[in-house]
Every structure is written in C-alpha cells, then in structure tokens.
C-alpha cells in the first residue's frame, strides 16, 4: 500500500468484490442483488464503486435522490437505477435519464402518472414503496386499491417491484417486530398481485436483513453497508472488510510546555510536557467536533494517539508523547483496523455516519 503524503481516502476494490461475493453467498441463486450507492457510495465514490460493481453481476442500483442517479448515468452506469426518495420537482430529469422512481404516497403517484401519460410512454418502470412499520416513507396496506386503480387508468407504467424496509433488521431483540413486518408485506404483495394481475418483484432486506432474515430475501435484496465492509455485528464483521481507509500525515510536531494550551478556545491546557502532532484533517473533512478532546484517536506507527483540544476546520492535534514519529509520517484515521465503527462508537455514533461524512475535499485513491 502506498504511504500517504496528504489526506486520502483509499478505496480497496478487491475488498469491495470480496464483500459482494460474501453477501451473494447468502442468497439463493435466483435472488437479485441491488447495490445501494447513495451518498457517494457511503462516502467512498459512487461512480468508481458502481462501475466496478456493474462489471460484477449486480442487477440493480439504488440512490436516494435524482441528482445522484444522473451522476451515475453520466459516469457510464447503464443498469437500472432505483431512486428511493425522489421529489416531484425533478421528475422531468428522472425520466430523461431513465431513472426508476420509488412512488411512496398518493401525491407523488398521481403527479408521476400525469406527467408520464403526457409523454405517451408505455411501461415506464416504477417501484411502489409500502410502509410496514418503519413509519418513514411508504403507502399503507389499505392503499392498494387506490394505487392499482390509478395505474390501470392508462398503460403508462409497469410496476417493476413493490418493496418495504425493515425498521430493526440488525436488532435481534426486535425479531418479532421484524417478522411481523415481513408478514404484513407478504399480505400486501398478495393483494397487490391479485389486483394488478401480474407479479412485480418483491424486496425488503437491507444488509442486516440479508444476514438475519433469509426467509425475507424474496426476489431481490438491497445492500449498502455490507458492501462497504460493515455487518452491524461483531460476528458478521469478521466476514467483511472495510473498503475505505482514511489516511493523513503529520504536518508539524510541537513540544508543549506545562501550562501552555493547544488549539481554539484553549480547550487543552497542559499539566505536564506533551508532544503533539498537527494533522491536515478537520471537521470540514468529516471528522466532527465530537471527536475532539480525547474522544477520537488516530494511529501512528501502530500506536493510538488521542486528539488534543478542539477539532478545527482543517486540522486536528493529537497526543504523540509516547510515539516515536516524525513530521511527514503516515497517520491512519480508520480502515481495516481500527475500523470506522470503532472510532464512531467512541462518540456514540455508527459507522454509517462517520464514513458518509468524509467530505468531497478528501482525495480518493484506489487499490485495484
């Protein structure tokens, strides 16, 4: 691995491939795989990741918003792209780029149908989202008749799938709730298929759903975090590899005398002589203020160096009193070990938040 000479997010595409293969091995051969690449592929790089996965046998992609789907089309993605959370104002662009909307309430369904019938389109692919307990997005169980009646008014759309989302798929204390969601979804699906007269694909599982609820894989699964190397449990993490390693370097070393302070607001005041390293990474790069004042740490020459003082916009300072290191040395913020999950748990958050926060300012490099 090349040594970092500036702050970089190194993306290991071989690890991505291994994670994909591991998740695939949990599926029946006929079950389709949708790769969730929203939010810059969870903070990595949507175009690079999606193009790599497109060449493996991924069947579908999903993003949250229409502009994310357009970026994928512009970078050469030709496989179907489901837009999980479209807004009506961008529907023209969605259609222009052949993106497939999730239709999750009456307003968006009616507006989409009216726009698409003006276009004299037939069989435009759409996906209908049902709420089975997360209470975030989705039609209710009782809306099936309304949806099918609206769709049957003309032949402009083809319901490619109906889907729902588990609220607590990683939490085995909530198994009965999850099983109840799965049963509700099955009922909705049966009713929907009967009404519309054909069988759309069914899907419900995110990564933890894939791992914990094999009975709910249906026709397709939607994996995000697992592809990026996290399984939401110690057991599952053993089989997955974090694809992103955040590295930086030591810009400057200071010897701080007893009584001196470090950083803004003098948040750290030294009680004895300490040695600090200043690193070119701060809250504008995605290392938020909660990681300051010893809550976060980095790894230098295999040893942990906790933060000192407040996180600045472009820098952090870390305590290297007991580490034999020099200006220019490489620093690991997170990667395979310690993982983003370990670092995130220090400030009571989750891997998802830390990895998706790494800003676009940080250069991406690739291990192929």
Ligand X SMILES: *Cc1c(COP(=O)(O)O)cnc(C)c1O
User: Which residues of this protein are in contact with ligand X, per CB under 6 A?
Assistant: 36, 38, 84, 165, 206-208, 222-226
Phi, psi of 87, rounded to the nearest 5 degrees:
-115, 145
Which pair of structure tokens corresponds to residue 356? 């998706």
Q: How far is the CB of 84 from ligand X (least distance, A)?
A: 5
Evaluate the CA torsion angle 300, 286, 348, 227 in order and state its sign: negative
Query: 240 or 249: whose CB is closer to ligand X?
Result: 240
Query: 19 or 208: whose CB is closer to ligand X?
Result: 208
Query: 24 or 295: whose CB is closer to ligand X?
Result: 24
Q: How far is the CB of 275 from ligand X (least distance, A)?
A: 40
Phi, psi of 158, rounded to the nearest 5 degrees:
-120, 120
Q: Is 298 helix (H, G, I), strand (E, B) or coil?
A: strand
Active site residue 264: yes
Distances (CA, A) of 188 to 149, 195, 307, 315, 341: 15, 11, 51, 52, 36
Q: How far is the CB of 331 from ligand X (least distance, A)?
A: 28
Return d(Cα 90, Cα 320) in angstroms, integer.
50
Q: How far is the CB of 257 from ligand X (least distance, A)?
A: 47
Planar angle of CA 147, 194, 187, nearest 5 degrees: 80
Per-residue exposure over 81-93, b if at least 16 CB sit within 10 Å of its own CB, e if not: bbbbbbeeebbee
Place of tokens 């099955």: 186
Which pair of structure tokens corresponds to residue 191? 């009713």
Q: How far is the CB of 334 from ligand X (least distance, A)?
A: 17
- Residue 324 exposed, middle or buried by CB count within 10 Å (0-12, 13-18, 19+): exposed
Active site residue 198: no
Q: How far is the CB of 122 from ligand X (least distance, A)?
A: 27
Q: Which of 187, 258, 264, 269 is catalytic?
A: 264
Query: 161 or 310: whose CB is closer to ligand X?
Result: 161
Q: How far is the CB of 222 from ligand X (least distance, A)?
A: 4
Query: 217 or 283: whose CB is closer to ligand X?
Result: 217
The strand pairing partners of 211, in sequence order, are none
Where do the H-state alpha helices sit in the chain? 13-24, 38-43, 46-55, 66-74, 91-96, 106-118, 144-152, 175-196, 207-212, 234-237, 340-346, 351-357
Looking at beta carbons, which residue is closest to ligand X? 224
Query: 8 or 23: whose CB is closer to ligand X?
Result: 23
Q: Which of 38, 129, 160, 241 is catalytic?
A: 38
Return d(Cα 115, Cα 95) in angstroms, integer.
10
Cβ contacts of 235 within 8 Å, gap of 6 or more: none
Which pair of structure tokens corresponds to residue 234? 């110690």
**What's the residue count for the chain?**
368
Query: 224 or 296: whose CB is closer to ligand X?
Result: 224
Query: Which residues have a catalytic role annotated?
Result: 38, 264
């Amino acid at each position: 691995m090349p040594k970092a000479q500036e702050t970089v997010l190194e993306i290991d595409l071989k690890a991505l491939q291994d994670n994909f293969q591991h998740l695939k091995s949990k599926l029946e051969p006929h079950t389709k795989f949708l790769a969730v690449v929203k939010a810059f592929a969870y903070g990595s790089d949507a175009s690079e990741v999606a193009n790599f996965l497109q060449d493996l046998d991924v069947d579908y992609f999903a993003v949250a918003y229409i502009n994310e789907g357009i970026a994928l089309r512009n970078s050469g993605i030709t496989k179907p792209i489901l837009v999980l959370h479209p807004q009506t104002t961008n529907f023209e662009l969605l259609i222009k780029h052949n993106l497939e909307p999730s239709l999750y309430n009456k307003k968006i369904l009616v507006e989409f149908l009216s726009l698409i019938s003006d276009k004299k389109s037939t069989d435009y692919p759409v996906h209908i989202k049902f709420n089975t307990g997360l209470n975030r997005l989705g039609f209710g169980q009782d809306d099936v008749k309304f949806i099918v009646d609206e769709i049957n008014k003309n032949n402009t759309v083809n319901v490619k799938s109906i889907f729902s989302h588990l609220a607590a798929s990683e939490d085995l204390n909530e198994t009965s709730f999850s099983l109840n969601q799965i049963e509700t979804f099955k009922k909705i699906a049966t009713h929907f298929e009967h009404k519309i007269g054909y069988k759309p694909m069914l899907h419900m599982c995110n990564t933890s759903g894939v791992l914990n609820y094999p009975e709910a894989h249906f026709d397709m699964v939607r994996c995000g975090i697992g592809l990026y190397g996290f399984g939401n449990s110690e057991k599952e993490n053993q089989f997955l590899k974090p694809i992103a390693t955040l590295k930086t370097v030591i810009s400057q070393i200071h010897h701080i005398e007893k009584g001196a302070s470090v950083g803004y607001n003098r948040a750290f005041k030294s009680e004895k002589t300490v040695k600090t390293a200043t690193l070119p990474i701060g809250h504008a790069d995605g290392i938020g203020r909660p990681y300051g004042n010893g809550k976060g740490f980095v790894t230098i020459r295999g040893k942990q160096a906790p933060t000192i003082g407040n996180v600045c916009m472009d820098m952090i300072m870390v305590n290297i009193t007991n580490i034999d290191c020099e200006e220019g040395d490489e620093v690991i913020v997170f990667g395979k070990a310690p993982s983003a999950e370990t670092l995130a748990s220090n400030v009571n958050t989750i891997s998802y938040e830390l990895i998706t926060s790494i800003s676009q300012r940080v250069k991406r490099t690739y291990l192929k």
